[in-house]
Each structure stands twice: as structure tokens, then as C-alpha cells.
């Protein structure tokens, strides 16, 4: 199996690069943000709880998020070649939980791809995405709190995974395909994984 975390601030291109990763490596994509937005649009109980956090730009509590991920892994990812985790983990306790969730399934996390993008560019990208897609939390006020949450709660994971020797820094500025080529080259070096032949 090849299990990857796509790490980066909101607006850093995680969703875009995930789509390419699943295509080129045959992996299953789990975006915790998408899982939550799906619940919100279906009006489930979980969706109502999630919306009360997401609309303020706050994180869903760790215990709930970890339980949701555990269920998605059982339901969707058990027979796949590996998983791209997009938007998870976002806190140190979530990273510890991910280790345990994978260990319990006799597998491991192989690399953390860190998309690094300057703050002013992040802001611009999210404002544009909000205008183009109508995504509710892409408004200036919520974006500010999401970036604060990222700095305070999520960025410490960069050091956490660097210490584990798993962090692969990638310049997330520029053309989508060039960024993906950097990711593929880094992954091959770090894990030996090869993208599919064209
Ligand atoms: P995303 O689509 O990854 O930008 O996530 C959108 C929102 O969903 C975030 O701002 C959080 O409110 C919530 N969310 C997504 N993933 C997580 C997570 N791993 N832990 C807590 N909250 C999350």
C-alpha cells in the first residue's frame, strides 16, 4: 500500500493535487472537508454539528473527526492500493490517531506532501474559489479564522512529520502540472513509488 497525507494551508491546492495523485497512482481519496460538506448538504445530524464549526472556520473536535475517518476507512478504503488523506490530520492528536488507525490495518503512513504557498496567494485563491463555486466558508471573515487555526493547530505537524522523516516540502506556487511533477519526483525518491505509464 501507499498511504500519503497531502498537507498544506487552506487554499494551497490539496484538492487539485489529490485528483492527480489518485489518477496517477490508483489511490483512494479521502477529503475530510468533502465528507463533512456532503453531510451538510444531505442535512444529516452530523452535518448540522459540522456546520456549526465549519461556518466559523473552526475545526471539528478531534474525537468526532477521528471516528468519522475510522468509519470511512472501513467502508470505502479497505480494498484499495492506498489512500491520499486530504485535510487530515489537522492536529497532533489526529496525527497520533492516524498512526494507530493505519497500524490497526497492518499498514503505515509513507509520506507527507507539504504544499507550501505564501499567505497573500492563499487568500486570493480562496476568494476566487468562493466566487466560482459558492463554497460557503470561502468568505473573507471565515478565511481569516481558517488561516489562524492553520497556524496555531495544524502547522506544528510540519515539525512533527519532519522529525519522523516523512515530510516532503513542495513549492505550491506555479503551474499545476509542474507542481505535480515535483511531487511525483519527490515521492519516487522517498518511497520508490512510480506513477502510471502514459
Ligand atoms: P477543507 O475542505 O479541508 O478545507 O475543510 C473545510 C472545513 O472542514 C475546515 O475548515 C474544518 O472546519 C473542517 N475539517 C476538515 N477536515 C478536518 C479535520 N481533519 N479536523 C477538523 N476539522 C476538519
Each residue's pLDDT tens digit, 153-182: 999 999 999 999 999 999 999 999 999 999
The answer to whether 180 and 18 are in contact (CB under 8 A) is no
What is the helix, strand, coil percentage profile of the chain, to 5? 60, 10, 30
Q: Is the pLDDT of residue 81 over 90?
A: no
Tell me the per-residue pLDDT of 19-34, one tens digit each, with 9 for 90 and over.
999 999 999 999 999 9
Within 6 A (CB) of ligand 1 lie 10, 32-33, 36, 53-54, 57-60, 65, 87-88, 90, 94, 137, 146
pLDDT digits (tens, 9 = 90+) for 23-64: 999 999 999 999 999 999 999 999 999 999 999 999 999 999
Q: Whose CA is nearest to atom 14 of ligand 1?
A: 33
Would the pLDDT of 198 be above 80? no
Please tell me the distance from the alpha carbon of residue 56 to that of residue 54, in angstroms, as a whole number: 5
Provide the 3-class DSSP secondary structure of residue 171.
strand
pLDDT 10s digits, 125-140: 999 999 999 999 999 9
In terms of Cα–Cα distance, which of 123, 125, 124 is closest to 16?
Answer: 125
**Distance from C-alpha of 15 to C-alpha of 55, rounded to nearest angstrom:** 19
Residues 80, 99, 105, 129: which is the catalytic one? 129
Based on the residue annotation, tell me whether 37 is a catalytic residue of this protein.
Answer: no
Q: Identify which of 92, 112, 119 has the alpha carbon closest to the alpha carbon of residue 162.
A: 112
Amino acid at each position: 500500500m501507499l498511504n500519503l497525507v497531502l498537507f498544506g494551508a487552506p487554499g494551497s491546492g490539496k484538492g487539485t493535487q489529490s485528483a492527480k495523485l489518485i489518477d496517477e497512482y490508483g489511490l483512494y481519496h479521502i477529503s475530510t472537508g468533502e465528507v463533512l460538506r456532503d453531510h451538510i448538504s444531505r442535512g444529516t445530524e452530523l452535518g448540522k454539528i459540522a456546520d456549526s464549526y465549519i461556518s466559523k472556520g473552526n475545526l471539528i473536535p478531534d474525537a468526532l473527526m477521528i471516528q468519522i475517518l475510522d468509519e470511512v476507512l472501513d467502508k470505502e478504503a479497505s480494498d484499495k492500493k492506498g489512500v491520499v488523506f486530504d485535510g487530515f490530520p489537522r492536529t497532533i492528536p489526529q496525527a497520533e490517531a492516524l498512526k494507530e488507525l493505519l497500524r490497526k490495518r497492518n499498514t503505515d503512513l509513507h509520506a507527507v506532501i507539504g504544499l507550501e504557498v505564501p499567505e497573500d496567494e492563499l487568500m486570493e485563491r480562496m476568494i476566487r474559489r468562493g466566487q466560482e463555486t459558492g463554497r460557503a466558508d470561502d468568505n473573507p471573515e471565515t478565511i481569516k479564522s481558517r488561516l489562524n487555526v492553520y497556524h496555531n493547530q495544524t502547522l506544528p505537524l510540519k515539525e512533527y512529520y519532519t522529525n519522523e522523516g516523512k515530510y516532503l516540502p513542495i513549492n505550491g506556487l506555479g503551474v499545476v502540472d509542474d507542481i505535480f511533477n515535483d511531487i511525483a519526483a519527490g515521492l519516487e525518491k522517498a518511497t520508490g513509488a512510480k506513477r502510471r505509464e502514459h
